[in-house]
Structure 1
Amino acid sequence: MQIHVVQSNQSLTTIARTYHTTVQDIIEANDLPNPNNLVVGQSIVIPIVGHFHFVQPGESLTTIARRYGVTAQQLATVNRIQINQPLTVGYRLYIPPGRKRNAEFNAYVEPRGNTVAPILEQSAREAAPYITYLAPFSFQARRDGTLKEPLLNDFPAIARANRNVLMMVINNQENDQFSDELGRILLTDMAIQDKFLNNIVTTAKKYGFRDIHFDFEFLRPADREAYNRFLRKAKQRFSSEGWLMSTALAPKTSATQQGKWYEGHDYKAHGQISDFVVIMTYEWGYSGGPAMAVSPIDQVKKVLDYAVTEIPSNKILMGQNLYGYDWTLPFVQGSVARAVSPQQSIQLAAEHNVPIQYDTKAQAPHFNYIDRSGKKHEVWFEDARSIQAKFNLIKQMNLRGMSYWKLGLAFPQNWLLIVDNFNVTKRGT
């Protein structure tokens, strides 16, 4: 695959000609919302085997080969040039595809209200071939140890058809808010805890869940060890059924990080007990805060650098957002940004005829526009470049893979790049 960033005065015809492909292939691969009105700075995935490198000043065949993990002789051979041939700036070299490693991918799907929206089910069907786990969000624990079930509809059938492990997500929410008191009861009242575990096992067998995933948040610091003891007990119970057990973790950068979102999560213990963890490395830019990248890679890496000191890297799924936000400026505390998909973001930039910028520190695209009422907006979202940067981090840090929050917002480039970078592990039967 090739990631191409649209330049001024470029059209799909000139781009297709550059890479020896067709306009229609590019449109279909990217599900382009603006084929006749490309935006400067817009990234496009070119559906070709391998990709091209255009020589930059100071580069040689040797330095280019090192960058892509091949030898200079291999590059010379595949491009039919002499190994000592001088390279001119802009010269196009073909880079053959490299070896792909195995990786696992999870995707949460969150039905809201009394019915499952057809678009949500369709999104799960489209994503299922590219994921290892499908995670309907969520079963809510009650204070008596029973469970409030989410809408499941066809999600179990979609998982079976695509050899996905159906993940049973269980959280400590009450009225859509994480409850430390509910957490305390479940973790410290042994009679209720036993009833809770029995209900989990019964429900998992009913629907065919094979990974039990605890997303307990906002726990009291005093309940940290109780949570660890509970996980050990649960793990023993689920292992006897042949199931996996995983947990969701807040994005910490140290063991002593303060705050109720962090202190109840013991990275080292979760790494020892769980089969794998999902680290929620997103929401630096969030709907109720000022405009910024949702998952800036420099902040993500700080969390992961700490995580791998406590948790085996092959147990870590990096959390990744499938959305961005559109903030109205100036930011006012109490205001709420609108969630937008990568596709919607591109449409906005095209409609308002504004270029897309790219923050190299955060590795994230963004742009500004003025709406019809004269209000200023700032949009941060995800594109092929930003997700490729995260995939590179997975490889560099030897992580287990990635976990997406959440399905329902279109990002076709992501799925294309998964299969270009990895062999997706399938655990389902």
Structure 2
Amino acid sequence: MAEKQQKETILVNGYAYPSIAPETLNAWLPDLTFVSTFSYGFTPEGQLIDLMDENIAGPAQAAGVQALMVLTPLDSQGAFNNELVRALLENPQAQNRLVENILANIRTKSMFGVDFDFEYVLPENRDQYTNLVRAAREKLNAAGYLVTAALAPKTSAGQRGLLYEGHDYRGMGQAANFILTMTYEWGHAFGPPMAVAPLDQVRRVLDYAVSEIPPDQLLMGIPNYGYDWKLPFIQGESRAEKLSLDEAAARAARYGAEVFFDEAAQSPYYYYTDGDGVSHVVWFENVQSLRAKLTLVSEYGLAGISYWNIMDYFPAGSEVLREMYQVAKV
């Protein structure tokens, strides 16, 4: 009788807001290595803006899952503020204070490390951002803690655009312990209907990422949601509805919609007409599309995956993950 092949062990991260339902968090915990609590803020002077995340960190630790604190420069409207980033990065004393405050918070809450998620960093602050992450890693690693960084889905070093220019893949790969690629949001709430994470686009990002960062430092982002667009789409006016994957599937069944599968994007979609006679298109993830994404982990030799986000549970998704991989506990 042939021996059963041992499954590859991978790291699995999931982002969660403190508003996550306890039953949802508990459903996810067996399939997570890390849970990243979203998000802490900071002031220009380097003071930490606390997150009441004990309802995530406590159950996670009890289940053998390590909690990471996510640090973002979000303003009071929930938008990324690159002027706040600039003020911090151009003040060495504030950076030192911030790193000390991060370390103190991790110790106080018995967490495992920090995930830096600074988006729309100005190009002139790129290297300063890399240096901040490096300084944090040196300080935190010496104390036994982890530093990760979430990066925009770049396909080349010189890629233009504010989302990309402030993120140095090679530098950040050297600065942080792990890099989380945000390989999602091609299809997004304000954009035209398309797959959230088309596999051909995800491959382009991974091809570039592994040329700059050792694959065993990379966690590939996977979306745990879909979008429903009303048709016709009108740029600047239309806004798609975000759906859980269970709701996306249930909606197709409710309207008797035929689900199609885009071969290039390796993603499902369907059309339906609602009770008011309005046409819709839905792009989402299902077992087939998630399996296609998960296959990339072994193909590229990645460290694992990172779900954005785990606010809804998709049992079929967890089943396909367990079918393919063993989830590491650290």
TM-score by length of 2: 0.96
Aligned to 1:371: 274
Partner SS for 2:186: coil
2:19 is aligned with 1:102: no
Contact in 2 for aligned 1:288/1:337 (Cα 8 Å): yes
Which entry has the higher C-alpha Rg, 1 or 2? Answer: 1
Measure the CA separation in 2 of the matches of 1:411 and 1:138: 23
2:249 is aligned with 1:346: yes
Aligned to 1:413: 316
Aligned to 2:218: 316
Aligned to 1:39: none
Partner SS for 1:174: coil
Q: Report how far residue 385 of structure 1 moved.
A: 0.3
Q: Report how far residue 97 of structure 1 moved.
A: 6.0
Q: Report how far residue 399 of structure 1 moved.
A: 0.5
Letter of the 2:110 partner, please give it: G
Measure the CA separation in 2 of the matches of 1:401 and 1:345: 26
402 and 240 in structure 1: CA distance in 2 versus 1, 3 angstrom threshold: same
Measure the CA separation in 1 of the matches of 2:90 and 2:147: 20
Of 270, 274, 281 in structure 1, the residue corresponding to residue 176 of structure 2 is 274
Of 109, 125, 144 in structure 1, the residue corresponding to residue 26 of structure 2 is 125
Partner SS for 1:285: coil
Aligned to 1:146: 47
Q: Deviations over 1:282-315 (max 9, x none)?
A: 0000011111100000000000000000000000
Measure the CA separation in 1 of the matches of 2:99 and 2:174: 20
Aligned to 2:300: 397
Partner SS for 1:277: strand
Measure the CA separation in 1 of the matches of 2:93 and 2:167: 23
2:284 is aligned with 1:381: yes
2:93 is aligned with 1:191: yes
2:57 is aligned with 1:156: yes
Letter of the 2:315 partner, please give it: P
TM-score by length of 1: 0.74
Letter of the 1:367 partner, please give it: Y
Q: Deviations over 1:160-211 (max 9, x none)?
A: 1221111111011112111111111221201211211121111111111212
2:165 is aligned with 1:263: yes
How well do the aligned residues superpose, as a CA RMSD in angstroms?
1.4
Q: Report how far residue 344 of structure 1 moved.
A: 0.7
2:146 is aligned with 1:239: no
Of 247, 251, 254 in structure 1, the residue corresponding to residue 153 of structure 2 is 251
Partner SS for 1:173: coil
Partner SS for 1:262: helix
Gaps of 5+ in 2: none
Aligned to 1:361: 264
2:68 is aligned with 1:167: yes
Q: Deviations over 1:312-368 (max 9, x none)?
A: 000000001100001000001222111111211111111111111111110111100
Contact in 1 for aligned 2:82/2:122 (Cα 8 Å): yes
Partner SS for 1:135: strand
Q: Report how far residue 150 of structure 1 moved.
A: 2.2
Runs of 4+ with >2 A deviation? 96-99
Q: Mapping of 1:55-66 within 5 angstroms?
A: none
Partner SS for 2:187: coil
Letter of the 1:301 partner, please give it: R
Measure the CA separation in 1 of the matches of 2:98 and 2:270: 48
Aligned to 1:205: 107
Aligned to 1:181: 83
Letter of the 1:129 partner, please give it: P
Measure the CA separation in 1 of the matches of 2:314 and 2:194: 19
Measure the CA separation in 1 of the matches of 2:47 and 2:279: 48
Gaps of 5+ in 1: 1-76, 79-95
Contact in 2 for aligned 1:340/1:409 (Cα 8 Å): no
Aligned to 2:201: 299
Letter of the 2:93 partner, please give it: A
